[in-house]
Structure 1
Amino acid sequence: MAFTWAARGSRWAAASAVALALWASAAPTLVYPVYAAQWHLTTAVTTTVFAAYPVALIATLLLLGGLAESVGNRGAILAGLGVLGLGALTFLLAPNLALLLVGRALMGVGVGLGLGPATSVIAASGPDEGRDRTGAVTAGASAVGLITALLVGGATVQFTANPLHAGYGVLLAGVVVAVVAAWYLPRPARRAPARWRPRPLAAPRHRLPFVAGALGVSAAYALGAIFLGIGAQFARDTVRSDDAFVNGVVLALSAAAIGVTALLAGRLRASTAVRLGAGAALAAQGLMLVAGTTHSMPLLIAYSLVGGAGYSLLFSGGVTLVTRSASPAHRAATTSSAYLVAYLVQAVVAVSVGRLATGLGLQVALAAGSATVAALALAAVLTARGRTVVPDAVRPAAVTPAAPSTPTDSPSYHLMRASS
């Protein structure tokens, strides 16, 4: 089809949904220290709130991953944005911890419902000829969403009279705009609705590239759990930066580095990207440890940039290895298996680091989290050194019931998709 104005509008509408999903996922990051101070919450509690997001997203992928096949991409995007709006409204009105957990879970459900279909619309609305820009558009929208979340969060915490809630009002307004745009997406042709059913997870017959890729993705997710789970608290309490807006800018630099690196990493072999990403991730965690010891903001900035690049390389290389390990017919279920493992790793790391920070201090928790990232990254590198090229005919082996129907349901995947 020709790249008409209607197709261009669909692409922009879907890109706005991607950006809103990533904005929602990072919206509470700069507010966690305020909750801790005003509601007297420990780091263990705030990281539990963070972990509610991947847990809810996992459940959504398992139970509702195939919703778009029944209601169409437009319907799934609107459903996802609607649940995101409920999550933002819950945070906006939340008077206690229980509603924070509810709001965070709603955001995970919303992202799980809408992000994959939004990327499918971006892919379908592109021109038939020329270079496929789906990855670049999705990566750009995702980076914009993360950067907006961190800058808006920092500004509303630092400069408004209601730091606990003001940022979610801005997010809710953004959701309304995205819903209006998504409403005008093309409706699916009338046909008998597909019956929804859970889909089996799968692992490929040739497991080595799958394992290497899953380890790379898990290392990236563990790095992200530390960064978004305790990054703002670390900047305030350990680096001793009391300006929430400055802290938001520093964290936003990492999101920018993720997006830029994702666009550049497509030139690399997957195993090379994993090796470079592992080295960058280890260097970043070392910078963070030294930044905490010396209370150095320049080192924290360096950590943000290097860590973002490491995350991007680990994820892009890992996703490529996983998708290449399966035949096209089974790629969705195979990739979903890797994502679910990685989300479980992220939730466990977030909660564990939070408990260690509460009992033994942020530096000890950071050292333990860094060791976990190092172990996962090293395991990915060592596994990727094996035979990672597999025959075209790869048959998956079912391992457990219920899975998402698309490998693009992960928010982190969308940020990294350009490089795979």
Structure 2
Amino acid sequence: MTSRSTPTTPTTSTTPTAAGRGGPRAQAAGVAFAFLVVMLGATLPTPLYPLYEADLGFGQATVTLVFAAYAVGVLAALLLLGRASDALGRRRLLLVAVAVSALSTLLFVTTPDLSGLYLGRVLSGLSAGIATTTGTVYLVELAPEGGQARASLLATVVNMTGLGLGPPLAGLVSELAPAPLVTAYVAHLGLLALAVPALLLAREVVVAPGASLRPERPSVAAEARAVFVPASLAAFAAFAALGLVTGATAGILGQVLGVSDRAAVGFVVLTLFAASAVAQVGLRGVATRTALTSGCLVLVLGAAVLAAALLAESVAVLVAALAVIGVGQALAFRAGTAAITAAAPAAERARTVTSFFLVAYLAISLPVVLLGAASLRWGLRDATLGFAAGVALIALASFVAQVVVERRSTSGPRG
């Protein structure tokens, strides 16, 4: 999954190379719809993992590896294709994201074995990584003068809404329709087919025609290093929690809380993404420094409530925990992105922000894989309790690092 706010509004002049077929609102709506449908596919398999476990005979540890394959695709998109839409065009690359998402979904239908799951998840991550980068900037560029901030917020909400809608859609369709490992994916393919004409409403935009597509090595600007450490720790905690929810919630509900209904799994997962989207809108006025520190503390609270849900074996408390984690994720990630963007000089901003996202998406995969390995020895409940404690400790470390950085910046040089 991908959750990304626009670090900056584009400052480079853009060149329309193909006219759109709709007015400004229709163009933005078409891009937003395509963006949402691609992101929806990223979380579609979440409530279906128990079915794969039963059909293919693997356990929670393998589920976490399959889930982590998604992060491989996202990281590949960030590292290899981060600048591609500048040279090739926003609409063209977003159409590529739709096509790759369709290929991923077709793999889940036609190759329902372990190799198909791994490759499908890698392609799903690749499509989501392309869509997040391209769709976010595209919406900002299509906005009227003075509307870039609202467009950036819209992109974030579309991103989180798409991720949130995948699990309940798959859960409902798989419970109500025949062939549960096919029908949800067929529904997604139908939405992707609609995304193509929706995208054709928008004009094409090329920022740097003929520019080199050679990947740039991520780095952190010297001016941003003091901010980068606490912000990255906060992002790591937030995205590790996201990885837990999307990669292991079905297992937690089924094995620990005794809930096997796939629609219920989908709506429980939706809680986190809905809370994040609402917090992005409702708390957008909170200052960056306050949001970053508050986000860390809210993540600590969310981890504590998650532990309480496991110990009490309560679905209601689990839903409350996911809502709290969603708010903490929204605060910490938005503020971390803003802080790093502000601290890095323009010439090194893109590389620095890319490094920040690499940390975040590594957090989606590595911790949840460790969770799967730990569950083999200690069971899923105890492994998740340890995971929650780890998220809380990392968030606290970010909070302490922020306090140290703030004290150093206010005390100034001595002598």
Matched, 1:275 2:293: yes
| Residue 253 of structure 1: aligned partner | 271
Secondary structure of 2:214's counterpart equals coil
Q: Quickly say closer, same or farther: Cα 1:131–1:95, change in 2 above 3 A.
A: closer
2:90 is equivalent to residue 73 of structure 1: yes
1:124 and 2:152 equivalent?
no
State TM-score, norm by structure 1: 0.87
1:67–1:113 Cα contact (<8 Å) kept: no
2-side partners of 1:263 and 1:192: how far apart?
Answer: 35
Give, in whole Å, the separation in 1 of the partners of 2:209 and 2:261: 56
Q: What is the CA distance between 1:19 and its match in structure 2?
A: 0.8
Which position in structure 2 is the counterpart of 1:360? 378
The superposition leaves residues 231-280 of structure 1 with CA deviations (integer Å, 9 ceiling, x where unpaired) of 12111221111222122112212211000111123222223222222222
SS at match of 2:23: helix
Contact persistence 2:64–2:248 (CA under 8 A): yes
2:173 alignment partner, one of 140, 156, 174: 156
CA contact (8 A) 1:14 1:119 kept: no
Shift of 1:354: 1.1
The 1:190/1:266 distance shift into structure 2, 3 A limit, reads closer
Report the Cα distance in structure 2 between the residues aligned to 1:390 and 1:102, rounded to whole angstroms: 47
Q: Deviations over 1:101-134 (max 9, x none)?
A: 0100011111222321111221111121467311
Alpha-carbon shift at residue 82 of structure 1 (Å): 0.7
Q: Deviations over 1:325-369 (max 9, x none)?
A: 202332211110111122222211111111112332111211221
1:389/1:199 Cα in 2 relative to 1: closer, same or farther (>3 Å)? farther
Task: Note if 1:208 corresponds to 2:226.
Answer: yes
Aligned-pair identity in percent equals 27
**Residue 329 of structure 2 aligns to which amino acid in structure 1?**
Y
Question: 2:175 is paired with a residue of what secondary structure?
Answer: helix
Tell me the distance in 1 between the aligned counterparts of 2:135 and 2:319: 32
For 2:164 and 2:365, how far apart are their aligned partners in 1? 22
Displacement after TM superposition at 1:375 (Å): 2.2
Counterpart of 2:269 in structure 1: which amino acid?
A: L
Match of 2:203 in 1: 186
- 333, 336, 350: which is aligned to 2:368? 350
* Aligned counterparts of 2:186 and 2:407: Cα–Cα separation in 1: 49
| Corresponding residue SS for 1:369 | helix
Tell me which moved more, 319-328 or 102-111. 319-328
* 1:309 counterpart letter in structure 2: V
Q: Is the 8 A contact 1:17 1:115 kept in 2?
A: no
Residue 9 of structure 2 is matched in structure 1 by none
Between 34-43 and 126-135, the greater mean CA deviation after superposition: 126-135
1:211 CA displacement: 1.2
- Which consecutive unaligned segments of at least 5 residues does structure 1 have? 392-420
Change in Cα spacing, 1:191 to 1:57, as seen in structure 2 (3 Å) is closer
For residue 284 of structure 2, give the secondary structure of its aligned residue in structure 1. helix
Tell me if the contact between 2:85 and 2:206 (Cα under 8 Å) persists in the aligned partners.
Answer: no
Farther-moved stretch of structure 1 (240-249 vs 221-230): 240-249
Asked whether the 8 Å contact 1:21–1:115 carries over to 2, the reply is no
1:315 equivalent among 319, 333, 358? 333
- The residue type paired with residue 109 of structure 2 is L
Does the 8 Å CA contact 1:13/1:185 hold for their aligned counterparts? yes
Name the CA shift for 1:13/1:388 in 2 (closer, same or farther; >3 Å). farther
Could you tell me whether the CA contact under 8 Å between 1:321 and 1:388 is conserved in 2?
A: no
* Further displaced range: 142-151 or 300-309: 142-151
2:350 to 308, 317, 332: 332
Distance 2:37 2:169 in 1: 13
Secondary structure at the counterpart of residue 133 of structure 1: helix
Q: How far apart, in 2, do the equivalents of 1:68 and 1:95 lie?
A: 32
Q: Could you say which residue in structure 2 is the equivalent of 1:177?
A: 194
Match of 1:42 in 2: 59
* C-alpha distance in 2 between matches for 1:139 and 1:109: 18
Runs of 4+ in 1 over 4 A off after TM superposition: 188-192, 388-391
User: CA 1:108/1:191 → structure 2, altered by over 3 Å: closer, same or farther?
Assistant: closer
Note if contact 2:89-2:206 (Cα within 8 Å) is conserved in structure 1. Answer: no
Segment drifting more, 105-114 vs 82-91: 105-114
Write the deviation string for residues 75-102 of structure 1: whole angstroms up to 9, x where unpaired: 1111111101100111122221000001
